Amino acid sequence: MNSSRNKTFCRTVRGAATAAALASLAVGTTASGAWAASADDAVQYVALGDSMASGPLIPGITGPLACGRSTHNYAHELAASIGASLRDVTCSGAQSKHMTEKQSLSLLDVPMGSAAPQFDALRADTDLVTLTIGGNDAGLVGIAQDCMQLDPTAIPCKDKLTEGGVDQVAQRIDAFAPRLGAVLDGIHQRSPHARVLVTGYGLYIKPGGCWPLQPVLPVDADFLQGSVNRMNAVIAEQSAAHGAEYIDVATPSKGHDACQAPSDKWVEGYVPTASAAPLHPNARGEAAYARIIGAHLQGS
């Protein structure tokens, strides 16, 4: 990232938090080299993104109901750990276009007004921005829902999605790349001194899946996670090209996918076993993502 931007942010976050205070934080940061702000010099933090970041159905609710924004999403957990002043505008269903356009909201097909363009939260004095976006641009959750299969002898949904040798999902993901680049450029234009961290998406299902625990055929499980991995590669590439930092949450998620025991998984499957939306992170996952992001900040 831009060195002057990094220096500005590092000066902003130097603070007076003690080891005891840090030890009590949910995201588990350590006192040595910890990122924290004094009361009169709080980090100005803006969280942008979709439902992976908003934390739908995780108690408690904040902001527009249809945005599914939780007080225990990764932004809130991270803000608590570094003493930041948070403006969280993450919203379920958000696409890259909703950074600069209003997002129409609905709940159970009932119109619920609209959310302002997420970029409205950015300021010239913003110090830190996190972003999670792209899944809805490519329609990944909808594709995963369509691939649910209770019949082990059925034709894999991968066959239809790659008919004629053309991977339709890969095409959607690749088409998202320049849109993400434009989003990142827009963040830098509005908040030129901000440090910008862009997360990928997690590990949703282990290699080969776990049918019938998660009702998706083995070949489709690999295809779906492979599509997520492709999205992550695009996000990493665009982040590097546009002055942002990529945060890998998939690699640390090994052993925490939807096939695991309820006490171990960070994401829910087709039928949640915790208070979270299907095919989305649960509270444990959001807290884990906050720790991962916090560790990145600590180490830089």
DSSP designation for 290: H
Whole-number Cα distances in Å, 238 to 73, 157, 179: 24, 29, 10
For 179-192, letters b (16+ CB in 10 Å) and e give bbbbbbebbbebbe
Tell the residue number behind the tokens 């691939």, with chain if given: 147
Phi-psi region of 49 (alpha: psi -120 to 50; beta: other; left: phi over 0): left
Question: Which residue from 248, 241, 288 is spatially nearest to 264, judged by alpha carbons?
Answer: 288
How long a stretch of residues is the chain? 300
Of these residues, 76, 98, 193, 280, which one is catalytic?
280
Cβ–Cβ under 8 Å, residues 1 and 184: no
Cβ–Cβ under 8 Å, residues 49 and 68: no
Give the side-chain half-sphere CA count within 13 A for 33. Answer: 7
Is 280 one of the catalytic residues?
A: yes
User: CA-CA distance, 103 to 25, in Å (whole number)?
Assistant: 33
Within the chain, strands assigned E span 44-49, 85-88, 103-107, 110-115, 128-132, 195-199, 245-247
Of these residues, 24, 38, 51, 81, which one is catalytic?
51
Q: Mention every residue, 6+ apart, whose C-beta is less than 8 A from residue 165.
A: none
Is 98 one of the catalytic residues?
A: no
Q: Mention every residue, 6+ apart, whose C-beta is less than 8 A from residue 24.
A: none
Would you name the residues annotated as active-site residues? 51, 280
